[in-house]
Copies of this chain bind each other. A is one copy, B any other.
Amino acid sequence: MTLSEEDYIKAIYHLGKGDNTTVSTNSVAEMVETKPSSVTDMVKKLSDKGVVNYRPYKGVNLTEYGQKIALTLVRKHRLWEVFLVEKLGFSWDEVHEVAEQLEHIKSEKLIDQLDKHLGYPQVDPHGDPIPSKTGEFKKTIKKLLIDIPVGTSGICVGVKDSSPPFLKFLDKNKIALGDTILIVDKEEFDGSFNIQINKKNIHISNQIASNLYLKISE
């Protein structure tokens, strides 16, 4: 697969949600930042190669084979993201662009060894799951902390309230996007929570818990 082909495959994969829905020419064009006519060309080529199912005017989705390729790309992308954050000290929001380039490197051994070097991580710094070598992975969902049962853990991926006081609170308590948070327990009386973050336990109010989004495995 060429670099371009891989970009189209990834776009069709992501637009097709988890369920490989058929997607429109226009949406693909927007995602790969090109014109619809270019998408038509490419999609025909990918169809000839057995990577996508394409019906003119009706849309495209991935074949089994195409899905396998997409999952390999996603796996590579997310492993590199973990590497950049954990080993090279990149922050949460700097990794995408570089991972976008690294995911195209071709070497099975490289990815296997990288996976091992990183300790076989299950999720990337955005809380998204990393497919295994054979393409399996757990789906994840985004939930407010308040709706997550005690005992589960997730990755902090966003806030509902983005007012300065709230952000300042998070900063003071060293809660940052990308952090892993474990729900230790919930106080029935006032709806407050004990959570563990960076190996430290802290106590947060119901109010705070209602404004923090975590990503958890289903």
**Minimum Cβ distance to chain B for residue A153 (Å):** 27
Nearest B residue to A114 via CB reads B88
* A90 close to B105 (CB less than 8 A): no
Q: Which residues of B contact A90 (CB under 8 A)?
A: 109, 113
Task: Give how many copies assemble into the complex.
Answer: 2
Q: Which residues of B contact A87 (CB under 8 A)?
A: 117
Q: Is residue A102 within 8 Å, beta carbon to beta carbon, of the partner chain?
A: yes
Q: Is residue A58 within 8 Å, beta carbon to beta carbon, of the partner chain?
A: no
* B88 close to A98 (CB less than 8 A): no
Choice from B89, B97, B105, B109 contacting A107 with Cβ under 8 Å: B97
Choice from B88, B102, B107, B113 contacting A113 with Cβ under 8 Å: B88
* B98 close to A107 (CB less than 8 A): yes
Interface residues on chain A, size class: 10 to 19
* A89 close to B113 (CB less than 8 A): yes
Choice from B94, B101, B105 contacting A98 with Cβ under 8 Å: B105
* B89 close to A110 (CB less than 8 A): no
Interface string of A53-88 (1 = CB under 8 A from B): 000000000000000000000000000000010011
Give the contacts of A77-129 with B (CB-CB under 8 A): 84, 87-90, 94, 97-98, 101-102, 105-107, 109-110, 113-114, 116-117
* A94 close to B106 (CB less than 8 A): no
Q: Which residues of B contact A117 (CB under 8 A)?
A: 87-88
19 pairs of residues in contact across A and B, judged by CB atoms under 8 Å: A84-B110, A87-B117, A88-B110, A88-B113, A88-B114, A88-B116, A88-B117, A89-B113, A90-B109, A90-B113, A94-B109, A97-B107, A98-B105, A98-B107, A98-B110, A101-B105, A101-B106, A101-B107, A102-B105
